[in-house]
Amino acid sequence: MTEDLLTDDEQLEHVKRLTAEYGPWIFGALVLGSAFVFGMRYYENRRDTIALHAAAQFDAMTSALQHNDPSRTRQLADGLIKDYPGSPYADQAKLVLARLYVTEGQDANAIAPLTEVMNGSKDTELRHIARLRLARVLIDQGKPDDALNMLADPSGAFAAPYHEVRGDAFVAKKDSSRALKEYQAALSEGAADNAPSNLLELKIEDLGVTASAAPSASMPAAASAPDPSKKATP
């Protein structure tokens, strides 16, 4: 190699030229690399700190709710929504606020937070929960058709509760046959998931039919067979 043929002084001069030419680039790369590593560590530490603070505030909100302290619960929920927007903690806080409104008989005020979670949460489960709760609020407000439209596609893990709330909407519409069909579908879906069925069976009994004896609402009633001993009247 060329370096092997150079004298010590020549090699030193060669190194100096390389350092002068590429040194700033090498130094800049080292600085950028160090800044990137520091930035990543800072970001991760800050993210972990924020998550811990949010979790602590969420636990405090849950505790206040369990101790029947609506004022403190609402204060902590508002803080979570303001300080951690877009997080699951903020979504949970909105569900709690909606629950407080319903408990206090202010159903109309529960619509906004439930709608926000239903349309904006990144958590699929929370979106379904908000949709179900909003449907119940609409039924209580005398809007069962709106609730039915909202729950038009029951599927997956939430099929059973979707069918149940649809049944409640048909009860509100005084359509017992369609309510029965929805409750039976909810029982079927719940049985597959080993979900408790006592409340559903009570709802079916309130319709005047027991769960075991209830005919399928989707099956038409069988026509009476003609008596072969009787002749048709000409």
Angle at 231 between CA 225 and CA 232, to 5 degrees: 80
Write out the residue range of the structural domain in which residue 26 sits: 11-107
94-132 pLDDT per residue, tens: 999 999 999 999 999 999 999 999 999 999 999 999 999
Predicted confidence (pLDDT) at residue 82 exceeds the cutoff of 60:
yes
CA 40 – CA 34 distance, rounded (Å): 10
CA 182 – CA 160 distance, rounded (Å): 9
Residue 140 forms part of a structural domain: no
Q: Kindly list the distances between the CA atom of residue 147 and the CA atoms of 114, 154, 166, in Å, as whole numbers in the listed order.
A: 13, 12, 7
Residue 92 forms part of a structural domain: yes
Instruction: Report the percent of the chain where pLDDT is more than 70.
Output: 65
Predicted confidence (pLDDT) at residue 212 exceeds the cutoff of 70:
no
8-64 pLDDT per residue, tens: 666 666 656 656 666 666 656 666 666 555 555 644 655 556 678 889 999 999 999
Mean pLDDT of 134-156: 92
Neighbours of 228 (CB within 10 A): 6
Name the DSSP letter for residue 225: P
Residue 52 forms part of a structural domain: yes
Residue 61 forms part of a structural domain: yes
* 67: Cβ contacts below 8 Å, ≥ 6 apart: none
Predicted TM-score (pTM) of this structure: 0.69
The tally of domains found in the chain comes to: 1
